[in-house]
Amino acid sequence: MKNINLFLTLLAVLVISSCQQCSAQNKKPLNNKTNMKEIITNHQFEVQKNEAEWKQILTPEQYAILRLKGTEKPFTSKFEDHYDGGTYTCGACGNPLFSSDGKFDSGCGWPSFYEALDSTKIVTQTDNNHGMSRIEIMCAKCGGHLGHVFNDGPKNKTGLRYCVNGASLGFKKK
C-alpha cells in the first residue's frame, strides 16, 4: 500500500510539473485583452445537478475531472492527437467550447487550443492550488472543470494556450 501511495504521489507531482513546465516560458500574467469572462461569486450555471446526478451521467474519470477538478495523465487523452474537423464540446453538458480550427500541438500532453469557440462559453477563476497561481477554465453552462489557460500559445494567433483535459471534452464531427 505504501508503494502505491508513493507512486500516486510521484505521478501527481509529474503531472503538475509537466503543466507548469509548459507554461514556464512566459510567466507574464494574463490580462483583460483575452476577452475571457472572469467568474463571479454569484454566477448561476444554467445546468444544475446534484453530485449523485453527475455521478450517474459521467464516467468515473469524467466525474473526477469535471466535478472534482482533477487532471488526467499527460499524453493519455483520445483528443491529444485528434485533428478531425468539428467542434469540441463540454463532456458534461454538450456546450460547444472549441473549434478544431483552433487546436494546435503544444507538446505538453493535453489537447491545446489557442482560442475558445465563443468567449461566453467559458468562465475563469484564479486557481492557487499546488503552489502555483493559474487561471482555471470552466464550462459557463454547467461549471465543469476543463483545465487552465496560459499565455504561452502561438504568438501569431492569440498567444493563449487553453490546456484542456481530454476527458472533459466531447466531439461533434463536421
Q: Cα angle at 30 between 79 and 16, to 5 degrees?
A: 50
The DSSP letter of residue 49 is -
Q: What is the pLDDT of residues 64-89, one digit of tens each?
A: 999 999 999 999 999 999 999 999 99
Question: Which residues are 89's β-sheet partners?
Answer: 96, 170
Q: What is the pLDDT of residues 30-39, one digit of tens each?
A: 443 444 555 5
The length of the chain is 174
pLDDT higher than threshold 90 for residue 24: no
Catalytic-residue membership of 19: no
Strand order in the sheet with 37-38: 37-38, 122-127, 134-139, 145-150, 161-164, 112-113, 103-104
The full set of domain ranges for the chain reads 2-173
CA pair distance 114, 59, nearest whole angstrom:
27
Q: What is the CATH number of domain 2-173?
A: 2.170.150.20
Alpha helices (runs of H) in the chain, residue ranges in sequence order? 2-23, 51-57, 60-62
**Confidence (pTM):** 0.79
